Amino acid sequence: MKRAFFHALLVFLPLQLFAQTPSEWQAHRAELLRHLSEKSVAILKANPEYLRNGDVEYDYRQSSNFYYLTGVPEKESMLILAPSGINVRELGRRVKEILFVMPRNPMAETWEGIRLGPQGAKEQLGFEAVFTNDRFEEFAERALANADTIYMETERASMNAPLNESLDFIKRARERFPNVVVADPRKMLHPMREIKSAGEIALLRKAITITCVGHREVMRSAQAGMREYELQAMLEYVFTQNGSERLGFPSIVGSGPNSCILHYRAGNRVINRGEVIVIDLGAEYGMYTADVTRTIPISGKFTKEQAAIYQIVYDAQEAAFQKIKPGAAYREPHEASARVVTEGLLKLGILKGTVEENLKSRAYAEFFLHGSNHYIGLDVHDVGTYGPLKPGVLITVEPGIYISEATAQKHGLDKKYVNIGVRIEDDVLVTPTGYELLSGSAPRSIAEIEALMAETGKFEN
Ligand code: GLY
Ligand code: MN
């Protein structure tokens, strides 16, 4: 008895640390079931594992949709949802959801780690009907026999490419059940994933807090002469030390000319005195990711030109924040930022003409090359409707101005502006009355950044 209790504690501990409970995944399945028509079947599959080279696989991460519905982190798992139920002889009744997982296998587990197995999935994840994955096709066939629609995710594939596993399954199902229509479950899942539950918000808060701790450490420790990958290593060390299981996306640490490459990946460039560095990254926690960008001057103080550009981006971000509230159109924060960026660039003489002319021609877009908002969640560019903002939605607010050598040349700018890339990105939660800034613990204003950079850091040498 005691041993069983201890075992249960060990098994439950990781889930509790991540603050998400089986009831959340159960609720997600129940909601999807409510959206499915009576005679439809939804089949969702775990991500495949991809070979990297030789005997080495890429790090495995579960499909976000599959995780959202099941909480299962393992490969080779499947879920069948059927609103009218599937008869399960072993249980003596019909059930609306069946999970399939890899069988327990002591030899495989010795190499790859402990598997849930059907019993583990029942006990830890709150499923009633769980079978080993060799039973999947038998149950899928039973479910499809009475169905008119099959909801299944597929990836785009060219006509002459070999069929992947999902397309092959659909082909075989359509041959046997020609009246079954194939539909995409994402049109139901994406609006669901847009609005976060309390448990999801707790995980995102944690991921964002960890990311901000990393930014603070780098502000304290960064020094001219370091290479970009040294800052990357500091950040990723802090993330891991604080419980982040992986990165939400590859870290962007771009110095000097690289500050103007939007999705540059940290490289081995030496960071020279006087340069700015765009640092854009996100720790993942409990499968949910942050996305926070700070731009810092390696010497600890912005030059006059860097400060002028930085302040425009900062003001553009402030203007965007003011637009965030339930009911606001998705584009409103971006449009507010675009206006402030246009006004700022006109004031510096970088753009010419009137504000309205420049907004109409979108001249600012040569400097501010991307949208300033996206959802965050299980994916860094999370899914959603792009409709009016609603409480429980998390979005980034990330205006930027990038003056590469080519852009400076085209606009005849002084060389003091060359290689100034500035992006400031924060994560906000839409609340019933407005918004909450979740990444405020990483300094954002020029004064705050310069003050923190004057402190000594734990990675300084
Ligand atoms: N953080 C990278 C991006 O939002 O595209
Ligand atoms: Mn972003």
Overall pTM > 0.75: yes
Ligand 1 binding pocket includes 427 (Cβ within 6 Å):
no
Ligand 1 binding pocket includes 382 (Cβ within 6 Å):
no
Q: Which atom of ligand 1 is nearest to the CA of 398?
A: 4
d(CA 425, CA 396): 6
Cα–Cα–Cα angle for 286, 290, 293, rounded to 5 degrees: 155
Residue 14: its pLDDT value, please?
Answer: 46
Name residues of the chain where pLDDT drops below 70: 1-19, 461
Residue 18: its pLDDT value, please?
Answer: 60
Whole-number Å distance, alpha carbon 419 to ligand 1 midpoint, is: 20
Whole-number Å distance, alpha carbon 241 to ligand 1 midpoint, is: 23
Under 8 Å between Cβ of 378 and 68 = yes
Residue 148: its pLDDT value, please?
Answer: 96
Sign of CA dihedral 203, 209, 210, 211: positive
Sign of CA dihedral 124, 130, 134, 137: negative
Residue 4: its pLDDT value, please?
Answer: 46
Distance between first and last Cα of the chain: 53
Mean model confidence pLDDT for the chain: 94
Is 263 part of the annotated catalytic residue set?
yes
Residues less than 5 Å from ion ligand 2, measured at CB: 291, 396
d(CA 282, CA 292): 6
From 280, 369, 373, mutation site for ligand 1 pocket: most ligand atoms within 8 A of C-beta = 280
Whole-number Å distance, alpha carbon 237 to ligand 1 midpoint, is: 21
| Active-site residue (options: 200, 236, 382, 425) | 425
Helix (H) or strand (E) holding 388: none
3-state secondary structure of 440: coil
